[in-house]
Amino acid sequence: MPGKLARTHGRRRGLRLHGCALCAAALAAAALASVSFSAPRAEVSWRDLEGRIQYSYYTEDAPALRSLAETVALDESRDRLHGYYAGLVAWRLAQLAAQGPGAVRGASAAHLARRCVGELDATLAAATDFAEGLALRAACLATEADTAHAGHAARGARRDIGRALRLAARNPRVLLIDAMSDYQLAPEGGGDKERALAKLRQAVAAFELERAGTEQLPGWGAAEAYLLLARDLLDHGEALGARDALEHALLIAPDYAQARRLMAQILSG
Give the rounded percent of residues in the chain with a pLDDT score beyond 90: 73
pLDDT higher than 80, residue 14: no
Rounded to an integer, what distance in angstroms lies between the CA atom of residue 212 and that of residue 20? 17
Task: Residue 181: name the closest of 200, 168, 163, 166 by CA.
Answer: 200
What is the model's pLDDT at position 39? 37
* Cβ neighbours for 25, distance < 8 A, ≥ 6 positions apart: 48, 51, 52, 54, 55
Rounded to an integer, what distance in angstroms lies between the CA atom of residue 39 and that of residue 33? 15
What is the model's pLDDT at position 189? 87
Rounded to an integer, what distance in angstroms lies between the CA atom of residue 173 and that of residue 225? 9
Task: Yes or no: say if 182 and 139 are a contact pair by the CB < 8 Å rule.
Answer: no
What is the model's pLDDT at position 21? 46
Residue 63: CB atoms within 10 A of its CB come to: 10
Higher pLDDT, 31 or 63: 63
The angle formed by the CA atoms of residues 181, 262 and 204, to the nearest 5 degrees, is: 45
* pLDDT tens digits, one per residue of 114-164: 999 999 999 999 999 999 999 999 999 999 998 877 789 999 999 999 999
Task: Residue 159: name the closest of 147, 149, 145, 148 by CA.
Answer: 145
The pTM for the full model equals: 0.83
Number of residues that this document lists for the chain: 269
* Cβ neighbours for 190, distance < 8 A, ≥ 6 positions apart: 154, 155, 157, 158, 181, 182
Rounded to an integer, what distance in angstroms lies between the CA atom of residue 100 and that of residue 167? 35
Domains of the chain by start residue, with CATH: 14-29+42-220 (1.25.40)
